[in-house]
Chains A and B, each alone.
Chain A
Amino acid sequence: MTDTIRSRSSTRRTLPARDLAQIAVFAALIAALGLAGPLNIGPVPITLQTLGVMLAGAILGPRKGTLAVLLFLVLTLFGLPLLAGGRGGIGAFTVSPAAGYLYGWLLGAFVIGYLTARLMPKYPFWLALGATILGGIGAVYLIGIPVMAWNLGLPLWTAAGLNLAFIPGDLIKVVVTVFVAAQVHRAYPGLISRIPRRSAVTAE
């Protein structure tokens, strides 16, 4: 296929058409990963959707990645059954014990995206792994656990204990994310500007 070099001059809009398309395609990817269905172990279903969220940050960077997750969440909020297991709607965001994880995804994608942007273009394995753990597990649990404790009326530490069961699964997703992101960035460079802001000037 022929490719396009969009002139930088048409980037006067905050989000040019290509960025819009990347955001929409990744939001769709997170949804498609949910169609695979959840593995129900304990109170929170284990899904590949978290993998999609981590990948969004690690591949699209802080701005586009967070927007892709936000867009996916907005569609779910509007009642599309896109959360793993065919759930969706306003309840998943408010009264559900797992509601906090959805907000945690937003923060997680941003943290991974921001840290990944600082690691580009080298993307060294161990640092990338740390960045992805910080965002994909740390940031997600930071919001997810307190909301779960609140919605279930449990003490914070009890809720945190319930989450221990997910650590192994989440660690696997982190490792997969780092490997996949490293390969994608090699096959398709230029998705994340190295140091946000400054590189936008050098790219002109």
Chain B
Amino acid sequence: MIGLYSPGTSLVHRAPTLLKLLLLSLGVAVVTVLGDPRQLAVALIVVVALFIVAGVPLKASVRQIAPVLWMLLLAVPVQALLAGWLVAGLMAGRLLVAVALAALFTLTTTVTAVLEAFDRLLRPFRRWIDTERVGLLVALTIRCIPLVAEIVREVLEARTARGTRGTLRALAVPVIVRSLYAADALGEALAARGVDD
């Protein structure tokens, strides 16, 4: 639906979520201590190989990694000036590998699977965290995103119909007040269906 998940049946897709999460943390931890360009090159090859195995569309991958490239464009020259090109290059390489690994996890794991994994991770803390309420809130928010987006669209439309372009404030106030009324109605519906009982 609205997840970043890109469907597939590869080994990377099928691996248990908690295992993937563990490997991801290990991978990032190892990468951040690599101090030799040759080691980093190996890591880079491994990550590219994983992407190929997973068969994730190039466009989806680039979209997750591209914002970091912009930051590197700015940070690398500064770093080079301060500490030399080798350090700057290593930093850039480590960051790219780590971001790519995290993106691979996100692209090959459904939101439901991540939810379930976190539910299992939270299980020992049941005593302090009402996991059922957390689950309800998460689902309710996913439901509310189109609801609020619709309110935003309607307010924009009303502005256009009246021929005024309006400031950010003139748009934000009706959006928020209407969202709060929608929240009241939702709260009432939740209560009617026994959430408070």
Contacts and interface: CB of A to CB of B under 8 A. Distances in A.
B195 A20 contact: yes
Q: Choose among A15, A45, A90, A96 the residue with the greatest number of B CB atoms under 10 Å from its CB.
A: A90
A97 B79 contact: no
Interface string B36-75: 0000000000000000000000000001100110110011
Contacts of B186: 21, 24-25
Contacts of A21: 140, 183-184, 186-187, 190
B2 interface: yes
Contacts of B74: 42-43, 162
A20 B168 CA distance: 27
B152 A154 contact: no
A189 to B, nearest CB: 11
B41 to A, nearest CB: 19
B196 A28 contact: no
Contacts of B79: 152-154
B12 interface: no
B18 interface: no
Nearest to A84: B67
A24 B103 contact: no
Interface in A31-81: 31-32, 35, 40, 42-45, 51, 55, 59, 71-72, 74-75, 77-81
Given A20-B136, A90-B24, A81 B4 contact: yes
B34 interface: no
B78 interface: yes
Contact of A91 (B82, B102, B141): B102
A199 interface: no
Contact of B64 (A18, A80, A89): A89
A24 B195 CA distance: 14
B181 A32 contact: no
Interface string A104-142: 000000000000000000000000000000000000000
Contacts of B2: 80-81
Nearest to A33: B152
Interface residues of A, number: 71
A169 interface: no
Given A1-B181, A21-B187, A91-B102, A97 B176 contact: no
Contacts of A22: 180, 183, 187
Given A17-B190, A89-B105, A176-B168, A79 B183 contact: no
Contacts of A14: 130
Given A28-B147, A176-B168, A152 B141 contact: no
Contacts of A158: 78, 82
5 contacts: A24-B183, A28-B141, A85-B67, A91-B98, A188-B177
Interface of B: 2-5, 21, 24, 28, 63-64, 67-68, 70-71, 74-75, 78-79, 82-83, 87, 91, 95, 98-99, 101-103, 105-107, 109-111, 114-115, 118, 130, 133-134, 136-138, 140-145, 147-149, 152, 168-169, 172-173, 175-177, 179-188, 190-191, 195-196
Interface of A: 1, 3-4, 6, 10, 13-29, 31-32, 35, 40, 42-45, 51, 55, 59, 71-72, 74-75, 77-82, 85-92, 94-98, 151-155, 158, 162, 176, 179-180, 183-184, 187-188, 191
